[in-house]
Structure 1
Amino acid sequence: MANPFQRARYMLSAHNMAQLPPDGGFEVAFAGRSNAGKSTALNAICQQGSLARVSKTPGRTQQLVFFDFTPKQNEEPAAKYLVDLPGYGYAKVPKDLQAHWQAFIDRYFTTREALKGLVVIMDIRHPLKDYDLQMLGYAVNRGLPAHALLTKADKLGRGQQMQTMHAVSREMHSRFGDSVSVQVFSGESKQGVDEARAVVANWLELPIA
């Protein structure tokens, strides 16, 4: 069976709630600090080289970016999307714009019925920063499942990868119980891509090989 995410195409960018697609389908959101490898992870899951922008200038995602991968001829009642959330960290943007993002994302998480899960991308060498925990908290408080990708795993040896994953898993469990799953991931070497793709497909109720 083909990878359904290969059909993903840019649909729209939303700067406020009024610009979002109609609420009622299925969405999985992707969050990550600037430089954590979020665009690379999205591209790897979708098996596309440049679906999400990869930039050497961190923090370029300044809106909620929706990717649509439901074929236009498909008459299923529920549309299905991947949503790229704004990244923080090194983003050099005005404080008022960061405040706007914060309020927008807060409302998105608390009111968006279509949201079925959250993927949080963390650099395996620098996991569990304040932003990561904040985004995971949004999902857990809403009762949504969350999945952490420890990206750039190719930068570490296998032993270090496993050691970090187990440490992060313990911390997640102590904070969030069983609501958050964790895996090692590399968009460069494709390590863990199939596992991550299966998690997202399950939340979206998509068949996948």
Structure 2
Amino acid sequence: MTSAPTLAQCPDDRGREVAFAGRSNAGKSSAINTLCQQKALARTSKTPGRTQLINFFGLGSDTTRRLVDLPGYGYAKVPESVKLEWQRHLADYLQRRQSLQGLVLLMDVRHPLSDFDEMMLGWADEQEMPVHILLTKADKLKPGAAKNMHQKVRSQLREWEDLVSIQLFSALKRQGLETLTARLDGWLGDAEA
């Protein structure tokens, strides 16, 4: 639909949308592409920090139901002033966007729960915003190790279990796609509701 540098330039705040957030290189764009069965809907890159705008994707011809690709956080190779500007716009979007129904928080299964991930979870708790965590790149670990990490993260987030759900995900192997689709269907539902 559009890419917006600030909340003021986002589409009309009506309908329902789900935002995808995560550390740079956690696999946000790959997850969106896999979910939408397209190879290049959301741009992917081996260079962290390529997503620098708030990107809105309408579901089919329905622009009242949207997926939102947020700028990555973490180790993008940009000046500190640019990172701070991204964080300000990200916070503005997350706190003020009325059509936001839920947050998909992506974490590399090998490096979960960074400081910023925990900050996002704290924000979601304050806003009573449901969060669905994708432990991405699950194909990079053996099944037993991935399952152990899933259980470890679930245990660490027990205090947020009323707002947070967690799953393993691999865009490459399409692992966990049905679970993610079911969660999004629940959040996006009928746009007029």
Q: Is the contact made by 1:59 and 1:92 (CA closer than 8 Å) also made in structure 2?
A: yes
2-structure distance, mates of 1:45, 1:133: 25
**Could you say which residue in structure 2 is the equivalent of 1:60?**
50
**Could you say which residue in structure 1 is the equivalent of 2:116?**
131
2-structure distance, mates of 1:70, 1:137: 33
SS in 1 for 2:134: strand
Cα deviation for residue 70 of structure 1 reads: 4.3
Q: Is residue 87 of structure 1 aligned with residue 77 of structure 2?
A: no
In the alignment of these two chains, the number of paired residues is 191
**Could you say which residue in structure 1 is the equivalent of 2:3?**
13
- Partner amino acid, structure 2, of 1:205: G
2-structure distance, mates of 1:178, 1:129: 21
Segment of structure 1 superposing worse, 165-174 or 112-121? 165-174
Scaled by the length of structure 2, the TM-score of the pair is: 0.94
Q: Is residue 29 of structure 1 aligned with residue 13 of structure 2?
A: no
RMSD between superposed Cα atoms in Å: 1.6
From 181, 184, 192, the equivalent of 2:176 is 192
Q: Is the contact made by 1:154 and 1:186 (CA closer than 8 Å) also made in structure 2?
A: yes
Equivalent residue runs for 1:33-182 within 5 Å: 33-71=23-61, 79-174=64-159, 176-182=160-166
- Partner amino acid, structure 2, of 1:27: E
- Partner amino acid, structure 2, of 1:112: R
2-structure distance, mates of 1:45, 1:134: 26
Segment of structure 1 superposing worse, 118-127 or 129-138? 129-138
Structure 1 residues not aligned, in runs of 5+: 1-10
- Partner amino acid, structure 1, of 2:78: V
- Partner amino acid, structure 1, of 2:158: H
Tell me the percent identity: 50
Scaled by the length of structure 1, the TM-score of the pair is: 0.87
Structure 1 stretches of at least 4 aligned residues deviating more than 3 Å after TM superposition: none
SS in 1 for 2:113: coil
- Partner amino acid, structure 1, of 2:75: Y
Structure 2 residues not aligned, in runs of 5+: none
1-structure distance, mates of 2:189, 2:43: 26
1-structure distance, mates of 2:87, 2:24: 15
